[in-house]
């Protein structure tokens, strides 16, 4: 009987204490719930407002805008969570110190990853290359497909997928082949001293001027750039739009070869035996100018 009485008394005591705690912390719990709801809504509203504001800034990439807004949103949520803990009497100063220590430890452990993030932010701000442009570095070359905070995706010239960490791209010189609207090209031709140099130079200029893809300003130019023992080198320099450069450079090689064959200029073949010019007997048919020269030499010898 006494044991039953003790159980009843203990139960009543526990219920009274629970009721007192409920009354004591009911306002704190209600306030914490309201604070969480309001804080969550405010964090979402502020992040959307910040995203719209950052997106209006010229030169800010979409990825970078979302990154900054997400950082702001999570920072606000952490602040709300710490404030809620303060409603229950928790010492928030120790929590902030613990979070700072944890952040330092994580930063040291993820030092390489943080370097990639920092490099990605700088690449997105300074924009040395954009999606769709072809670039080349000391380690990689290809068309940019996507620029992320950690790495950049490429498609190589032979159709391969390549992923490069941003820290590598940020710490190396970058050559962007697509950024400028126009691009220069040089076509080098080797001719023999016996050929008509002025005619060959005029012929190269005529080939360049006949192609509408060659820009008139700056005007194409031809000059002698090398002098060899039996040959000399001519260089045709012209400008074209970046989008036309690749196809034009291939077409110009073919046109120069066909035009020189028709004009009688011979392009010496580099060979190990040092022959700078094919022998006349190796030609399918002598050119008219060479027929006259051969006839003149025959008459003189007679």
Confidence grade of residue 154 (pLDDT, cut at 50, 70, 90): very high
Which of 8-22, 60-74, 103-117, 233-247 comes out lowest in average pLDDT?
Answer: 8-22
Architecture of the 128-176 domain: Roll (2.30)
Residue 299 pLDDT exceeds 50? no
Residue scoring higher pLDDT (43 or 252): 252
Percent of the chain with pLDDT over 90: 30
Give the distance from CA 28 to its chain's centroid. Answer: 53
| Averaged pLDDT, 133-153 | 91
| Averaged pLDDT, 91-106 | 68
191 beta partners: 232
Average pLDDT, the chain: 77
Reported CATH class of domain 182-288: alpha beta
Residues 6+ apart with CB under 8 A from 191: 197, 200, 231, 232, 234, 265, 266, 267, 268
| Averaged pLDDT, 90-119 | 70
Confidence grade of residue 282 (pLDDT, cut at 50, 70, 90): very low
Pairing of strands 141-147, 182-192: unpaired
| Averaged pLDDT, 86-115 | 67
pLDDT at 209: 94
pLDDT at 116: 87
Report the CATH fold assignment for 2-109: Helix Hairpins (1.10.287)
Residue 120 pLDDT exceeds 80? yes
| Averaged pLDDT, 68-90 | 77
pLDDT at 287: 41
Q: Considering the chain, tell me which residue range(s) the CATH 2.30.30.60 domain(s) occupy.
A: 128-176
pLDDT at 250: 93
Sign of the CA dihedral with 158 first, then 159, 164, and 166 last: positive
Which of 9-23, 45-59, 62-76, 191-205 comes out lowest in average pLDDT?
Answer: 9-23
Q: Considering the chain, tell me which residue range(s) the CATH 1.10.287.1260 domain(s) occupy.
A: 2-109
Cis peptide before 218 (omega within 30 of 0): yes
pLDDT at 166: 92
Residue 235 pLDDT exceeds 60? yes
Give the C-alpha separation, 60 to 252, whole Å.
41
Phi-psi region of 220 (alpha: psi -120 to 50; beta: other; left: phi over 0): beta
In this prediction the pTM is 0.59
Confidence grade of residue 87 (pLDDT, cut at 50, 70, 90): low
Q: Considering the chain, tell me which residue range(s) the CATH 3.30.70.100 domain(s) occupy.
A: 182-288
Instruction: Give 290: exposed, middle or buried? Use CB within 10 Å, 0-12, 13-18, 19+.
Output: middle
Which of 137-141, 152-156, 286-290 comes out lowest in average pLDDT?
Answer: 286-290
**Helix count and strand count (H, E) for the chain:** 8, 8
Q: Where are the alpha helices (DSSP H) in 154-234?
A: 166-170, 197-210
Dig out the tokens for 80 from the structure: 């709300």
């Amino acid at each position: 009987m006494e044991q039953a009485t003790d159980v009843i008394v203990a139960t009543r005591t526990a219920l009274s204490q629970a009721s007192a705690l409920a009354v004591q912390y009911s306002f704190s719990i209600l306030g914490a719930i309201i604070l969480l709801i309001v804080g969550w809504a405010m964090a979402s509203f502020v992040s959307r407002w910040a995203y719209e504001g950052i997106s209006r800034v010229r030169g800010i990439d979409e990825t970078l805008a979302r990154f900054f807004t997400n950082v702001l949103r999570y920072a606000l949520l952490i602040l709300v969570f710490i404030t809620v803990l303060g409603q229950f009497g928790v010492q928030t100063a120790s929590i902030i110190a613990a979070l700072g220590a944890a952040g330092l430890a994580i930063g040291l452990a993820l030092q390489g990853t943080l370097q990639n993030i920092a490099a990605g932010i700088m690449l997105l701000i300074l924009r040395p290359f954009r999606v769709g442009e072809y670039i080349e570095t000391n380690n990689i070359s290809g068309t940019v497909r996507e620029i992320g905070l950690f790495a950049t995706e490429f498609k190589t010239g032979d159709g391969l997928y390549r992923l490069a960490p941003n820290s590598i791209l940020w710490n190396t010189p970058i050559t962007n082949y697509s950024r400028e609207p126009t691009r220069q090209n040089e076509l080098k031709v080797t001719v023999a001293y016996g050929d008509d140099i002025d005619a060959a130079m005029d012929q190269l200029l005529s080939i360049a001027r006949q192609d509408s893809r060659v820009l008139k300003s700056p005007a194409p130019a031809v000059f002698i750039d090398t002098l060899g023992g039996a040959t000399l080198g001519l260089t045709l320099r012209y400008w074209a739009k970046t989008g036309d450069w690749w196809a034009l450079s291939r077409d110009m090689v073919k046109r120069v070869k066909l035009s020189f064959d028709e004009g009688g200029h011979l392009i010496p073949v580099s060979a190990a035996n040092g022959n700078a010019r094919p022998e006349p007997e190796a030609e399918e048919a002598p050119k008219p100018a060479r027929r006259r020269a051969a006839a003149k030499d025959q008459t003189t010898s007679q």
